[in-house]
Amino acid sequence: MRALLLLLLLFASPGHGALADEAASAGKPGLPMSVELPVRVRVALRVLNVLEIKEVSGQGRLHLELTQRWHDPRLTFDAVARGLAREDRVGDDADEHLKTIWSPGLSLDNQIGEKDSRTVALSVHANGEVVLIERFESDFRFRMNMDAFPFDRQKLAIGLSLPRYAQQEAVVLTTEEDRSFSGIENSLSVVDWRPIGVRFSNDLVMGWNARSYSRLNATVTIARYAERYLLRVFIPIIAVLAVSLFVLWSPGLKEQDKGGLIFSSLLALAAISFTFESSFPGSISLNTPVAEMISLGYLYLVAVLLFEIVLSVAVASPHFRWNGEAAALRLHLRWAMPAIMLIICLGAAIRALPT
């Protein structure tokens, strides 16, 4: 009877979930004792390289250095007696020692697959402070916004959480000291992107049994080199649309020649859109300034042909009642239509510029 009562008290205690998990983890120690809860796990994140960015699928491959720090009084030792201030372990030795001590079990929420090219270093200081450093490459899933292509900035958010412990037991955070070890390298493997910086924000995520868990969001911001796309993207579009000036202002051009020029321009614009989509995935299929320019370009070229042919016939007919008005309207539309199209294209590009 007494054993049954003790068992009921154990399962009625507030922290029985975490204690049961720890007890079931092959004899691994539980949460650090004689410390104020929640246990604070300090994190620093350094982006060593951005190896690949896939805008349409929302994936990227990063080379990271992740540093975790926590305090466990059970690991303190006499530095004078041992003749060292800390014990350092690397590689397999560090992984084996991690199995014998408490570790927070930090999880990368949006990671895809396993960590590749992983190296690990573990340091245990005499005062009980533990420093775990991991370097690895891995794929991540991100939310990407291509609406401003090619003037876009992508915010690659990495979620760091402690799925084994509710926020009352352990929290993940970063301090000013940790942020000094965080950042992004100036030179990246993705040639069309440049680094901006890394920022952190704390968040909560709901888990099992409606318990809230601590999460730290590390956002890596990179910007596209927009100037590298001017010749490859905008100049071909402008060259195709410029055919309309020849149609509007060329004297003595026959109607069938005007129609041939416009339809050839429409085909060239369609070919450019397919080429852009294959070379820069997402530039046409998504709501980007380039997609707006090409879509409006179709309408603009058809409108130029329609107005030019209709007004040319009206001006050429001496019996037309509003012959003079048609000639004046044609004269104004010759400069108004290209000017309006130019303003719309500039507006689409300027609206996409980063603020």
- Which secondary structure element, helix H or strand E, spans residue 179, and what is its range? helix 176-180
Pick the CATH number of 229-352 from 1.10.10.10, 1.20.58.390, 3.40.80.10, 1.20.1440.130: 1.20.58.390
* Domains of the chain, residue spans: 16-23+32-224, 229-352
According to the model, what pLDDT value does residue 141 have? 95
Peptide bond into 150 cis (omega under 30): yes
According to the model, what pLDDT value does residue 246 have? 85
Question: 3-state DSSP helix/strand/coil percent for the chain, to nearest 5?
Answer: 40, 30, 30
According to the model, what pLDDT value does residue 21 have? 45
According to the model, what pLDDT value does residue 216 have? 94
Nearest-CA neighbor of 175 among 46, 71, 40? 40
According to the model, what pLDDT value does residue 204 have? 83
Peptide bond into 281 cis (omega under 30): no
CATH topology of domain 16-23+32-224: Acetylcholine Binding Protein; Chain: A, (2.70.170)
Contact between residue 223 and residue 231 where contact means Cβ atoms under 8 Å apart: no
CA 71 to chain centre: 33
Nearest-CA neighbor of 173 among 62, 73, 39? 39
Neighbours of 218 (CB within 10 A): 22
Consecutive sets of 10 residues in the chain, 355 residues long: mean pLDDT of each? 41 39 55 84 95 89 96 89 88 92 92 93 94 96 87 92 90 91 92 92 80 92 88 87 87 81 91 84 79 90 87 70 75 88 89 78
According to the model, what pLDDT value does residue 8 have? 39
> pTM of this prediction?
0.76
According to the model, what pLDDT value does residue 80 have? 85
Which amino acid is located at 107 in the chain? S
| Cα distances (Å, whole numbers) of residue 238 to 32, 232, 262, 297, 349 | 66, 11, 14, 10, 13
Peptide bond into 73 cis (omega under 30): no
**16-23+32-224 against 229-352: fold identical:** no
